[in-house]
Amino acid sequence: MRLFKGLFLTYRFFLALLIVVIVFVVGFVFPFVFILAQGLLAVIAAVLVLEIFVLFIIKSPLKGEREVANQISMGDENKVVLRIRNGFKFPVTIKTYDNLPVQFQVRNRYYKSLFMPSGARSYTYFVRPEDRGEYFFDDIYSFVSILVGFAQRKVVIPAKQKVVSYPSIIQMKKYELKVFSKTAQQGIKKIRRLGHNNEFEQIKYYVQGDDIRTINWKATSRMNELMVNQYQDERAQNVYSIIDKSRAMRMPFDDLTLLDHSINSTLAFSNICLRKGDKVGLMTFSDKLGSKIAAERSSNQLQRIIEILYKQKTRFLESNYELLYQAVRTHIKGRSLIMLYSNIESEYALKRVLPLLKKINQQHVLCVIFFQNTEIAKVSEMEPKHVRDIYTKTFAEKYAMDKKKIAMELRKHNIQAVLTTPQNLTIDTINKYLELKAKGAI
Q: For the residues of 139-208, what is the DSSP string, one character each?
A: -EEEEEE-TT-SEEEEEEE---EEEEEES-HHHHHHHHHHHH-SS--SS---PPP-S--EEEEEEEE--T
Q: How far apart are CA 33 and CA 24, in angstroms?
A: 7
Q: How far apart are CA 301 and CA 391, in angstroms?
A: 51
pLDDT of residue 386: 83
Strand 71-73 versus strand 161-166 pairing type: parallel
Q: Report, in angstroms and rounded to the nearest whole number, the Rg of the chain calculated over CA atoms.
A: 32
Q: Closest Cα to residue 417, out of 405, 427, 426? A: 405
Burial of 378 (0-12, 13-18, 19+ CB in 10 A): exposed
SS3 442: coil
Q: How far apart are CA 402 and CA 349, in angstroms?
A: 11
Q: Dihedral sign for Cα 334, 270, 302, 137, please.
A: positive
SS3 344: coil
CB atoms within 10 A of CB 185: 15
Which class does domain 62-166 fall in?
A: mainly beta
Cα-based distances in Å from 164 to 109, 159, 167, 268, 372: 21, 16, 10, 18, 30
Q: Are 369 and 340 in contact (CB under 8 A)?
A: yes
CATH superfamily of 238-439: von Willebrand factor, type A domain (3.40.50.410)
DSSP element (H, E) containing 355: helix 347-363
Indicate the DSSP class of residue 118: T
pLDDT of residue 309: 93
- List of long-range contacts for 286-290, beta carbons under 8 Å, 24+ apart: 286/244, 286/245, 286/246, 286/314, 286/315, 286/317, 286/318, 286/319, 286/320, 287/246, 287/315, 287/317, 287/318, 287/319, 287/320, 287/323, 288/320, 288/323, 289/323, 289/324, 289/327, 290/245
CA 75 to chain centroid = 2
Q: How far apart are CA 264 and CA 45, in angstroms?
A: 60
pLDDT tens string for the chain (442 positions)? 555 678 888 888 889 888 888 888 877 777 777 788 788 888 888 988 998 888 888 888 899 999 999 899 999 999 999 999 999 988 999 999 999 999 898 888 899 999 999 899 999 999 999 888 899 999 999 999 988 888 999 999 999 999 999 998 888 888 887 777 654 455 666 554 444 445 566 788 888 777 788 888 888 888 888 988 876 655 578 999 999 999 889 988 888 999 999 999 999 999 999 988 899 999 999 999 999 999 998 889 999 999 999 989 888 888 999 999 999 999 998 889 999 999 988 888 999 999 999 999 999 999 999 998 888 877 777 888 888 888 888 888 888 888 999 999 999 999 999 999 999 999 999 999 988 888 877 7
Q: Are 33 and 26 in contact (CB under 8 A)?
A: yes
Q: Which residues touch 378 (CB under 8 Å, ≥6 apart)?
A: none
Q: Which residues touch 204 (CB under 8 Å, ≥6 apart)?
A: 227, 228, 230
Write down the pTM of the prediction: 0.77
pLDDT of residue 11: 86
Q: Are 331 and 360 in contact (CB under 8 A)?
A: no
Q: What is the largest CA-CA distance in the chain?
A: 114
In our burial notation (b when 16+ CB lie closer than 10 A, e otherwise), range 21-38 reads: eebbeebeeeeeebeebe
CA dihedral 113, 117, 119, 123 (to 10 degrees): 10
SS3 300: coil
Burial of 265 (0-12, 13-18, 19+ CB in 10 A): buried
pLDDT of residue 183: 47
